[in-house]
Structure formats: C-alpha cells, structure tokens
C-alpha cells in the first residue's frame, strides 16, 4: 500500500485544502487500471488525518484493491454553508474530479463508494442520497442522521451552516432525501448503518433506519456495545470494507 498526503488549491473554496490517500500496490502489467474508490469522511472534531491515526484502515484495505480518499472539510456538515464555505460543492463535485485527475481512480458508479463516522456518516448518506448517480453504496458509522434533534453542542455550528432557519433545508435533510430517492425511477444506493448501543446518537440511527426501511431503501444494519468512540469505528470500518461490493480484478 502507498500512503500519500496531498495538498492542493480548491477552486470551489478559494483556499488550500488537504486530503490523505491510500492506494494499493500496482500489479505487474496493469499500468492503466482504474481503482475502485472509497471516499472516507471524518467527524465534527476531526480532520483528514483521523482515520489513519486512530484506526487500522490501511491494513484493512490491503487485500481489497481499493483506493481510500480522506478529505478535510472542517465543521461544515458537508454543506454549502450559509455563513462559510461551499463544502458540499467541494466534496460532491471538485473533490472527485481532482482526485481522479491526480490518481488512477475509476469514474464508474459501480466502483465509487462513500463512508464516514458521526458528521461523516451524515455526509456519506447525503452524498449517496443526493448523488445516487455517482455512488453505488454508502456506509454510516454512528452517524448524525437526524439533524432535527441536534445536541446542544451543535447549536453554534448549525447557525453558521444552515442559517437561522426553523427547519433543516430539504437538500440537507436525510429523511426527505431518502423519500425522494425511494420514489424516483433512478438508481438507488445500498446503505449500511452501524451504531453502538450506548452511543448518544443511537436514537438518531434507530429513527433513520426505521424511516429508510419504511420507504423501501436497501439498508443493512448492525449494532453492538459501544460509545461514540474510535474503538467502535475501528472495528466496524473493517465490516464496511467486507460489505461494500468492491469488484476484484
């Protein structure tokens, strides 16, 4: 495996940004191969280094022949912020285009996946539900999935992100996005959810799971003992890699 730290200028954000990338070793005679890709998203208090600092993601990915792209988006909730930067546009449009320009990544939907923890779990589901044409599957670990019931710790951030609104905008509400995808005639991503039973976001996950299944989406759900902590996420990101429909050469 190769581990790369990449800094580049974002046209969308008009600032320098960073991402870490894990690539499998090249195979003999396959100089033109395009890799299946997982965009792996961080949580509210983390950055693009967190997954490799606190989990064994590189070791877990070693046998999967998959690229892992880990961007930094600050405390944006993967949203075009009302008072801040357009991180949704960055992560949904510019990031995949730049990553594919820099590295040999597949642009096929069936090779493109997204996963994340906490805020990143929300971001992963939002990417898959708003862009089901781009993402074949998404995984959320301890996701902040019900933003209508945000903890007090998020109140300051939500004013910057969504503005002074009484209701989360439709394009940022996973419940309404799930309904829209379920009713559409277009492609529907496969979803994976996991949450610790002692996690403060466990009720969020139960509500979204019931809603997604009720509208007819394909959701795989797992749970086990655990708080909102890296020991849980380290264990379950390995399960995510085994669950994802990653094509082997």
> Is 124 a residue whose pLDDT tops 70?
yes
223: which DSSP letter? E
Give me the sheet containing 67-71, strands edge to edge.
2-10, 15-23, 67-71, 37-41, 112-117, 137-141, 190-196, 219-224
Q: What's the pLDDT tens digit per position in 216-230?
A: 999 999 999 999 999
CATH code of domain 2-25+33-243: 3.40.50.1820
Q: How far apart are CA 130 and CA 127, in angstroms?
A: 5
Name the strand (E) or helix (H) holding 203. helix 202-215
Kindly indicate the confidence band of residue 27, based on its pLDDT and cuts at 50, 70 and 90.
confident
Kindly write down the DSSP assignment for every residue of 180-192, as one continuous string.
HHHHSSS---EEE
Give yes or no for residue 248 having a pLDDT over 80: no
Q: What percent of the chain has pLDDT over 90?
A: 85
What burial class does residue 249 get, using C-beta atoms within 10 Å of its C-beta: 0-12 exposed, 13-18 middle, 19+ buried?
exposed
Chain CA centroid to CA 225, Å: 23
Pairing type for strands 15-23 and 219-224 reads unpaired
Question: What is the spatial distance between Cα 109 and Cα 37, in angstroms, rounded to a whole number?
Answer: 10
Which pTM does this prediction carry? 0.96
What is the SS3 assignment for 167? coil
164: pLDDT strictly greater than 80: no
Per-residue pLDDT reduced to its tens digit, 60-83: 999 899 999 999 999 999 999 999
Q: Which residues contact 26 (CB under 8 A, 6 or more apart)?
A: none
How many other C-beta atoms lie within 10 A of the C-beta of residue 151?
Answer: 10
- Sign for the pseudo-dihedral over CA of 228, 138, 155, 73: positive
β-partners of residue 116 are: 41, 140
Say how far residue 97 (Cα) sits from the centre of its chain.
16
- Does position 174 have pLDDT exceeding 80, yes or no? yes
Please report, rounded to a whole number, the percentage of residues in the chain having pLDDT higher than 70: 96
pLDDT at residue 148, rounded to an integer = 83
Of how many residues is the chain composed? Answer: 249
Separation CA 200–CA 44 (nearest Å): 14
Name which of 61, 66, 54, 51 is nearest 19 in CA terms: 51
Question: In this structure, are strands 2-10 and 37-41 parallel, antiparallel, or unpaired?
Answer: unpaired
- Residue spans per domain, the chain: 2-25+33-243
């Amino acid at each position: 495996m190769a581990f790369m730290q990449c800094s580049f200028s974002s046209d969308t954000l008009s600032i320098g940004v960073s991402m870490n990338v894990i690539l499998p070793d090249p195979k003999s005679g396959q100089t033109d191969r395009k890799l299946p890709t997982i965009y792996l998203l961080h949580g509210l208090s983390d950055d693009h280094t967190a997954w490799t600092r606190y989990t064994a993601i590189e070791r877990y990915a070693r046998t999967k022949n998959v690229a892992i792209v880990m961007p930094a988006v600050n405390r944006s909730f993967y949203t075009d912020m009302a008072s801040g930067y357009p991180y949704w546009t960055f992560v949904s449009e510019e990031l995949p285009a730049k990553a594919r320009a820099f590295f040999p990544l597949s642009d096929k939907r069936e090779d493109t996946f997204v996963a994340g923890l906490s805020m990143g779990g929300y971001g992963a589901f939002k990417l898959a539900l708003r862009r089901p044409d781009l993402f074949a599957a998404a995984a959320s670990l301890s996701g902040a999935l019900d933003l209508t019931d945000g903890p007090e710790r998020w109140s300051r951030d939500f004013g910057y992100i969504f503005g002074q609104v009484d209701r989360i905008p439709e394009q940022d509400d996973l419940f309404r996005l799930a309904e829209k995808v379920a009713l559409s005639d277009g492609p529907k991503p496969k979803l994976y959810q996991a949450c610790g039973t002692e996690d403060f976001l466990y009720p969020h996950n139960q509500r979204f799971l019931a809603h997604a299944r009720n509208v007819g989406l394909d959701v795989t759900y797992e749970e086990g003992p655990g708080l909102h902590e890296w020991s849980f996420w380290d264990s379950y990101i390995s399960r995510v890699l085994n669950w994802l429909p990653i094509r082997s050469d």
